Amino acid sequence: MSFQLPDLPYAYEALEPHIDSLTMNIHHTKHHNTYITNVNGVLGGENGAPIKGLSLEAMQGAVSTLPDNIKTAVRNSGGGHYNHCMFWTVMGGVGTANSAPFGELKEKIDGTFGALDEMKKLFNTAAATRFGSGWAWLCVAEDKSLYITSTPNQDNPLMTGIADKPGTPILGLDVWEHAYYLKYRNLRADYIAAFWNVVNWDKVVENYESALSGGTAVFDVPLA
């Protein structure tokens, strides 16, 4: 088994003007592809036995238990692969999906945070204040409550034993500089604000429903 780069569910230019096509192309074909190459290197190497046969999701939860000789590589590159597979799917071109949460997720957001705008403020703060590189997440906790968190580098809340608050992410935002610097330079807050224009709430709702039933975010993980 080896992982392959998934196709984007839209063209590179589909998120314009909020996220530019050149950034999307480089982010997908270079950065994401490098994570795949590196985790495949572990899978195919002499030390890869502990992760052989694991799904990408299961690999996240196993990171803290892995031997030291592969733990960092799987944490960084396996995490990077998972995070990006999810990231691409929670975005979509303007007008291609619902522009706001709906159904049970809307009710849960309103009940937890007061309103969507209040949730966005907390999420934006988590993304803006993540020092250095990392991610901001909207997650479902074990007790089915919603919460917002951030993680460094390519960590994610599925990494039990590593994440400050483990849970199931249903929406994530990449705040590594390579995700926004060509267009937004050092203005991370502007990039974060623009992100809400391309959130695919249909997918976030699907992820929420999956999390409630004990699953994880819904996306394809192509294998060779």
Distance (Å, rounded) from C-alpha 40 to C-alpha 22?
26
Residues 136 and 169 reside in one and the same domain: yes
Residues 108 and 159 reside in one and the same domain: yes
For residue 13, is it within any domain?
no
196: tokens are 């809400």
* Domain range enclosing 146: 103-212
Sequential DSSP letters for 113-180:
HSSHHHHHHHHHHHHHTS-SSEEEEEEE-TTS-EEEEEEETT--TT-TTTSSS--EEEEEEE-SGGGT
Average pLDDT for residues 48-64, to the nearest whole number? 97
Residues 43 and 107 reside in one and the same domain: no
Average pLDDT for residues 145-163, to the nearest whole number? 98
Helix (H) or strand (E) holding 43: helix 33-43
Average pLDDT for residues 102-110, to the nearest whole number? 98
Residues 80 and 156 reside in one and the same domain: no
Pairing of strands 168-174, 134-140: antiparallel
Residues 157 and 72 reside in one and the same domain: no
- Give the CATH number of the domain where residue 121 resides: 3.55.40.20
At 176, is the pLDDT very low, low, confident or very high (cuts 50, 70, 90)?
A: very high
At 97, is the pLDDT very low, low, confident or very high (cuts 50, 70, 90)?
A: confident
pLDDT given for residue 202 in this prediction: 96
Query: Which residue ranges are tagged as binding site for Mn(2+)?
Result: 27, 84, 174, 178
For 60-78, the pLDDT digits (tens) are: 999 999 999 999 999 999 9
Query: Which residue ranges are tagged as binding site?
Result: 27, 84, 174, 178
135-171: b (≥16 Cβ within 10 Å) or e: bbbbbbeeeeebebbbbebbbbbbbeebbeebbbbbb
CA atoms within 13 A on the CB side of 60: 21
DSSP three-state, residue 63: helix
pLDDT given for residue 95 in this prediction: 86
Q: Do 154 and 124 touch, CB atoms closer than 8 A?
A: no
Distance (Å, rounded) from C-alpha 78 to C-alpha 63?
9
Residues 116 and 59 reside in one and the same domain: no
Q: Do 172 and 83 touch, CB atoms closer than 8 A?
A: yes
Residues 78 and 107 reside in one and the same domain: no
